[in-house]
């Protein structure tokens, strides 16, 4: 029985059904944590969840409207392959049912129920990583998701959320990742001092993003460029091309003194204008791209 036959069977049309309530309940942290499941909503997340499932099973159920299937042939093709796995529950639903399941203000025709993907923090440090983003008590789900997407774009090996951070499986966080949650290993509930110790042992330098930091990111970038070009460069104590773990802090307070003390250097993204600072998502993107560029440049220079 192929996908079309399975789906044609009988669309779910009762928005008050128990199953609908169960799916909708995953918008809450306690239900997610208890059941080990979370919601991936919208075409981009669905696409990435299904593609990931074909490499490493993570999808529990898929609910999709006929309109969404017609509009996204690539998702239909992926779903056809995923549906061959009898452990995945795939159902056509009406728009009303999808809206009742979804946490989004504008549901986009598909909801994928996935199993939690996070890995132990120790796991992300084997083998030796080049670039890791650590979120220390970041609270806003949109910021966490944006940061995960930016870490993915910058080619980071992994993202870590410390204890006291927002739940990365919060539906708004997942939406903000635009699928990146399915791309790179994510560790949650990490103990920061322990993580930093292990990262050092794995050969990483530790940088703390800090608007009042004593090291200017532009200066690190200039020195790294000069070094890669073979120019004689004074030793500033940190080569941006090194394997690096970046620490990013809470939106309102930034990193605490204890958190900053874990780092080799406190690095400031320079503010050229009158803004007091950048927000954590944009500051982190600038930092991660600076490391990624330096590492790639050094890689080219060594070849």
Contact positions vs its own copies (CB under 8 A): 44, 142, 146, 149-156, 176, 178-180, 183-184, 218, 221-222, 225, 269, 271-279, 281-282, 285-286, 289, 292-293, 296-297
Are the C-beta atoms of 41 and 111 separated by less than 8 Å? yes
Q: Which is nearer to its own copies, 189 or 289 (CB)?
A: 289
Minimum distance from residue 225 beta carbon to its own copies (Å): 5
Query: Using an 8 Å Cβ cutoff, are 161 and 177 in contact?
Result: no
Instruction: Please state the closest distance from residue 106 (CB atom) to its own copies, in A.
Output: 11
Kindly state the smallest distance separating residue 125's Cβ from its own copies, in Å. Answer: 18
Residue closer to its own copies, measured from CB, 15 or 155: 155
Give the count of alpha carbons within 13 A of 281, CB side only: 16
Identify which of residues 69 and 217 has a Cβ nearer to its own copies in the complex. Answer: 217
Alpha carbon separation from 192 to 64, 165, 260, 291 (Å, rounded): 40, 12, 11, 21
82 within 8 A of 90, measured Cβ to Cβ: yes
Shortest Cβ 11–its own copies spacing (Å): 27
Least distance CB 41 / its own copies (angstroms) = 15
Judge whether 7 and 88 are in contact, CB under 8 Å. no
Beta bridge partners of 215: 267
Nearer to its own copies, 17 or 104 (CB): 104
Cα-Cα end-to-end distance for the chain: 52
| C-alpha 62: how far from chain center | 21
Q: How far is the CB of 48 from its own copies (least distance, A)?
A: 9
> Which pair of structure tokens corresponds to residue 186?
């994510």
Task: Decide whether 99 or 278 has the Cβ nearer to its own copies.
Answer: 278
Answer yes or no: are the C-beta atoms of 178 and 44 closer than 8 Å.
yes
Please answer whether residues 13 and 97 qualify as being in contact, where contact means their C-beta atoms are separated by less than 8 angstroms: yes
Nearest distance, CB of residue 178 and its own copies, angstroms: 6
Complex with its own copies: residue 140 or 264, whichever CB lies closer: 140
Shortest spacing between CB 177 and its own copies, in angstroms: 9
Contact, 49 vs 114, CB < 8 A?
yes
Nearer to its own copies, 77 or 271 (CB): 271
Judged by beta carbon, residue 37 or residue 143, the one nearer its own copies is: 143
CB 240 within 8 Å of CB 291: yes
For residues 253 and 201, what is the distance between their CA atoms, to the nearest angstrom? 29
- Count of alpha carbons within 13 angstroms of residue 299, beta-carbon side: 8
């Amino acid at each position: 029985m192929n996908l079309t036959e399975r789906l044609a069977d009988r669309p779910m049309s009762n928005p008050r059904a128990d199953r609908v309530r169960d799916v909708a309940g995953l918008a809450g942290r306690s239900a997610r944590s208890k059941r080990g499941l979370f919601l991936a909503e919208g075409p981009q997340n669905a696409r990435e969840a299904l593609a990931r499932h074909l490499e490493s099973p993570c999808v529990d159920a898929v609910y999709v409207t006929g309109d969404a299937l017609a509009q996204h042939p690539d998702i239909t093709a992926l779903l056809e392959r995923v549906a061959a796995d009898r452990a995945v529950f795939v159902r056509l639903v009406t728009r009303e049912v999808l809206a009742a399941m979804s946490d989004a203000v504008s549901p986009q025709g598909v909801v994928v129920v996935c199993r939690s993907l996070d890995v132990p923090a120790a796991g992300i440090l084997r083998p030796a990583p080049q670039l890791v983003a650590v979120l220390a008590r970041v609270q806003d789900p949109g910021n966490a998701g944006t940061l995960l997407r930016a870490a993915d774009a910058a080619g980071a090996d992994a993202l870590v959320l410390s204890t006291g951070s927002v739940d990365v499986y919060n539906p708004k966080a997942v939406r903000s990742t635009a699928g990146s949650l399915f791309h790179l290993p994510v560790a949650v509930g990490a103990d920061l001092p322990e993580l930093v110790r292990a990262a050092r042992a794995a050969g990483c330098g530790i940088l703390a993003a800090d608007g009042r930091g004593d090291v200017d990111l532009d200066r690190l970038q200039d020195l790294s460029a000069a070094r890669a070009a073979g120019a004689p460069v004074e030793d500033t104590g940190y080569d941006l091309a090194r394997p690096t773990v970046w620490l990013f802090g809470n939106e309102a307070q930034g990193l605490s003194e204890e958190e900053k003390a874990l780092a080799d250097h406190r690095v400031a993204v320079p503010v050229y204008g009158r803004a007091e600072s950048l927000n954590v998502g944009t500051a982190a993107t600038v930092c991660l791209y600076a490391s990624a560029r330096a590492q790639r440049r050094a890689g080219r220079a060594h070849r």
